[in-house]
């Protein structure tokens, strides 16, 4: 199994989709409404299975969107979901950790970048924000949300007890360090803040499926399916409450 399985993630990503809808509303408002906003060129960085991308396309009916993700299975799922939008959207291989992303739109700058649930899977945020600034036009908007400081702390503590490594894959940043990276990358008017977003898991089986397809997927990718399920069950059983305490880091900024 690759780190992310598109169909499995798509089936459980209800919380992520609901959070994403709010981020899309912020982006539409940042673009200021009207015809100009509607016709914007937008990058969805780390688009996953495309659920939030579809909301973005609905919210900006004349916009063109490049939806990028490094996971082939996610891209395949996104292509299926986004097919009704035709030429308004292009699904591409995009890695926020690789300078190759600078050529993502054939060198043409974007009016805005949206990203939901992806940045905490990137380790070098300083370099990532530099790349994002480089693909935006001057004055272009960055509107994003990802896991922030303290997010899924209980799950990570349980993984430590179980001997499952996670730290090499994630960075859950604080608002202060993020604001510093944004300034260093050439963003201005940066707002960065945390919001607690606990998710109730709705029973043990639902919890196991959610953990397997979402939170734990990249940590368990190299293991056999049976072992992945055992670990997800062990995590679900050890949670003090049937709940995951997500903390989201929100980013609103303009390229200088």
Ligand X SMILES: C[S@@+](CC[C@H](N)C(=O)[O-])C[C@H]1O[C@@H](n2cnc3c(N)ncnc32)[C@H](O)[C@@H]1O
* Contacting positions for ligand X (CB under 6 A): 4, 13, 16, 20, 45-48, 51-52, 69-71, 74, 94-97, 116-118, 121-122
- In the complex with ligand X, the residue whose CB is nearer, 18 or 256, is 18
Nearer to ligand X, 12 or 194 (CB): 12
Report, in Å, the least distance between residue 51 CB and ligand X.
5
In angstroms, give the least distance from the CB of 224 to ligand X.
Answer: 21
CA distances from 61 to 121, 193, 249 (A): 30, 29, 27
Q: Which is nearer to ligand X, 22 or 256 (CB)?
A: 22
Nearer to ligand X, 63 or 188 (CB): 63
Please, what is the Cα angle at 144 between 93 and 53, to 5 degrees?
A: 50
Task: Compare residues 15 and 256 and give the one whose CB is closer to ligand X.
Answer: 15
Please report how close the Cβ of residue 37 comes to ligand X at its closest, in angstroms. 21
Please say which residue, 74 or 158, places its beta carbon nearer to ligand X.
Answer: 74
Which residue's Cβ lies closest to ligand X?
48
CB closer to ligand X out of 71 and 235: 71
> Which of 243, 153, 158 has its CA nearest to residue 198?
243
**What minimum distance in Å lies between the beta carbon of 98 and ligand X?**
8
Cβ atoms of 232 and 216 within 8 Å: the answer is: yes
DSSP 250: E
E strand or H helix that includes residue 73? helix 72-82
Question: Distance (Å, rounded) from C-alpha 87 to C-alpha 4?
Answer: 26
Return the number of other C-beta atoms located less than 10 Å from residue 34's C-beta.
8
Burial class (CB in 10 A: 0-12, 13-18, 19+), 106: exposed
Provide the minimum distance between the beta carbon of 35 and ligand X in the complex, in angstroms, as a whole number.
Answer: 27
Cβ at position 48, least distance to ligand X in Å: 2
Burial state string for 234-255 with b = 16 or more CB within 10 A and e = fewer than 16: bbbeebeeeebbbbbbbbbbbb
Cβ proximity of 48 and 78 under 8 Å: yes
Cβ 34 to ligand X shortest distance, Å: 26
Query: Residue 103, CB half-sphere, CA atoms under 13 Å: how many?
Result: 3
């Amino acid at each position: 199994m690759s780190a992310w399985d598109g169909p499995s993630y798509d089936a459980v990503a209800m919380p992520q989709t609901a959070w994403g809808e709010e981020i899309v509303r912020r982006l539409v408002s940042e673009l200021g409404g009207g015809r100009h906003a509607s016709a914007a060129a937008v990058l969805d960085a780390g688009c996953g299975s495309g659920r939030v991308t579809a909301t973005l396309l609905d919210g900006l009916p004349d916009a063109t969107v490049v939806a990028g993700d490094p996971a082939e299975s996610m891209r395949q799922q996104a292509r299926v979901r986004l097919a009704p939008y035709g030429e308004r959207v292009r699904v591409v291989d995009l890695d926020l950790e690789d300078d190759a992303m600078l050529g993502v739109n054939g060198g043409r700058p974007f009016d805005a970048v949206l990203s939901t649930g992806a940045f905490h899977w990137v380790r070098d945020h300083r370099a990532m924000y530099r790349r994002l600034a480089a693909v935006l036009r001057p004055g272009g908007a960055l509107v994003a949300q990802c896991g922030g400081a303290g997010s899924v702390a209980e799950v990570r503590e349980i993984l430590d007890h179980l001997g499952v490594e996670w730290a090499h894959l994630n960075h859950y940043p604080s608002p202060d360090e993020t604001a510093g990276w944004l300034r260093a990358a050439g963003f201005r008017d940066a707002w960065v803040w945390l919001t607690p977003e606990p998710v109730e898991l709705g029973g043990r089986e639902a919890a196991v499926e959610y953990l397997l397809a979402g939170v734990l997927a990249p940590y368990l990718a190299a293991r056999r399916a049976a072992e992945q399920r055992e670990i997800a069950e062990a995590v679900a059983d050890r949670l003090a409450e049937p709940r995951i305490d997500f903390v989201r880091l929100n980013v609103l900024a303009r390229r200088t």
